[in-house]
Amino acid sequence: MSGHDALVVALVVLVLLGAVPVLAGILQYALVPVHAWRNHLRDAAPYLPRVVVVVPAWNEGAVLAASLERLMRLEYPPDRLRVLVVDDASTDDTPDVVLAKAAEHPGRIVHLRRAHGGQGKAHTLNHGIAHALADDWMQALLIMDADVIYRPDSLRRMTRHLADERVGAVTAFIREGSGRPGSVARFIGYEYVTAQAAARRAQNVLGAMACLAGGAQLHSRANLEAIGGRIDTSTLAEDTYTTFLTQLDGRRVVFEPAAVVLAEEPDSVRALWKQRVRWARGNVQITGTFEHVWFRRPWPVRRGGQRLGSWTFGVIWFSVYLLPVAIVAASIGLVGLHLVAQTTALVAFRSLWWLAVAAYVFITTVTLLLDGETARRSWFQGLTFPGLLALVVMSAAWFPGLWEDTVPGLLGLRMSDAGRDAWQLALYAWPLLAMLLAPLVRACDGVRALRVLSVPLLYVIGFGPVLCAITLDAYVKQWRGAVAVWDKTEKTGRVVG
């Protein structure tokens, strides 16, 4: 093989690496319909254990009253539900709000105040968990966020899975529930369907759950005690850490899609960026901490087995984790092929983007069908999730010559050879360019005079590329050893249940 041929092969391999996340997405979504037959409901049964709810709260006065009142109205026996609000040394009216609610519901709501706060959510949770475990009354413990609203039937839909002793923890479907969401919140609403209603159904089928939703995780007492009676404080992804420990110790983690919990999500790119950098850095920490798990054949452990080590789960995990790397690889591969083997470059580009179009149509359709409420609110954000310019690239792959000949011809124009070359390079490199341009959306969002441009830019560049850019930023911060701080997202009480 000549040096030229070896270079071409290497560049094609880079393009193929870019196809792996697309194929993993198709695989995961292909498992979603299987959930109708392969789920845990057949092993569930009516079960109403005594539940303690732990609510970490730091300056949550604006949202706590509604959340606590909805907990009190759950379709759950009042004598089997207690709420511990762990006040992390709040400086607003959080104590007053909790004490007022405790007076309305004596014995059912308890205010626990930490004298010195600011250590992060995990430390706050551990204060409440220790208090709950000190009393034999508690049979199950629900961890939630201060701003979320539980639908009336959500808790009993979750507890029924704990009737099976093999189940250690259950999580619910967190749905974006703002009364009047803006564009960013609508994008998040759509994304939550993909990452939860779809992905976690598929993970139920696989028998390996990536993460318990931080605002809706129900643990059996036995599971809490088995994993040490506390939440890990060494990472920024304490919910994922707990999810992995539960499964590695031999208990199942189950997603219950019918248990719906409404949450207020960020409605600005800057707030989104802050939240997701924390999440992504947490996933970097988790990936390293559990390095012994990846791509290991499922092994038998107590009470059955766990499948975190399966190749299928590993491919899905790393397809998300390394998505920015795959984007860079595919872009370099296509641009390089354009320089050394243009015919091969065209074939590779069209093949990759035909696959991307098929995945886009399949995933978007399934997502919108899975959750009718979100589909009505966020259908346009679902269609534009990859970005308007990405849709242009898709059309260029499916209809060769559309933008080089047909469109200019309709305008009475003719594209020059240099223009064609530049256009082709832009098509090949667009995913990388979109990721590199994403910080521009955040920058505009942070300047009052330019803020009006941030939402249009978000639609043009795409919410997906913005998430990839955030992940890349998290990698850089983690590599540089930036201080890891649990920085909460500000909430204003916009959830409408």
3-state per-residue secondary structure call for 83-129: EEEEECCCCCCHHHHHHHHHHHCCCCEEEEECCCCCCCHHHHHHHHH
Instruction: Identify any residues that bridge with 329 across adjacent strands, giving them in sequence order.
Output: none
Give the residue ranges of DSSP H helices in 387-462: 388-398, 407-410, 417-445, 451-461
In this predicted structure, the answer to whether residue 166 has a pLDDT above a threshold of 90 is yes
pLDDT above 90 for 300: no
Per-residue pLDDT, 306: 66
Mean per-residue pLDDT for 140-151?
94
Which DSSP string corresponds to 232-252?
--SSS-HHHHHHHHHHHTT-E
Q: Looking at the predicted structure, is the pLDDT value of residue 7 above 80?
A: yes
Give residue 304's pLDDT. Answer: 42
Q: Write down the pLDDT at residue 489.
A: 60
Least confident range from 212-226, 454-468, 480-494: namely 480-494
- Segment 192-199 mean pLDDT: 96
pLDDT at 330: 97
What does pTM read for this prediction?
A: 0.93
- Look at residue 403 and tell me whether its pLDDT is greater than 50: yes
Average pLDDT, the chain: 92
Per-residue model confidence (pLDDT) at position 301: 41
- The answer to whether 217 touches 143, Cβ cutoff 8 Å, is yes
Assigned token pair, 36: 């109708």
DSSP 42: G
What was the pLDDT predicted at 89?
Answer: 85
pLDDT computed for residue 412 by the predictor: 87
What domains lie within the chain, and their CATH numbers? 3-19+317-480 (no CATH), 39-304 (3.90.550.10)
Whole-number Å distance between alpha carbons of 273 and 267: 11
**Mean of pLDDT values over 87-102:** 90
